[in-house]
Amino acid sequence: MSASLKQIEDQARVLTPEERAKLAESLLESLHSPLAEIEKAWADEVEQRVAAFDRGEIPAYPAEDVFAEARRMPR
């Protein structure tokens, strides 16, 4: 282990558990950046759809109607 890596590790160990968890999550996401980008895109999409629903721009359907239609679909 390099000296600078050891210093970073020592500094990280004095963080609160919550801060260490955030740091660990951030480091893991950096290893899987395409996945993180996809998750971010989906999170943005969800926020946009919820906002559009709240503004009345997207209709809502009763769950029983949705399930009834799903049961009529071929498998």
Extents of the domains making up the chain: 3-72
Cα angle 56, 58, 59 (rounded to 5 degrees) comes to 95
Residue with token string 């801060």: 19
pTM greater than 0.85: no
pLDDT for 57 beyond 80:
yes
Q: Summarize the confidence of residues 30-43 as an average pLDDT.
A: 83
Helix boundaries (H) for the chain = 3-13, 17-31, 33-54, 63-72
Euclidean distance between CA atoms 55 and 70, whole angstroms: 27
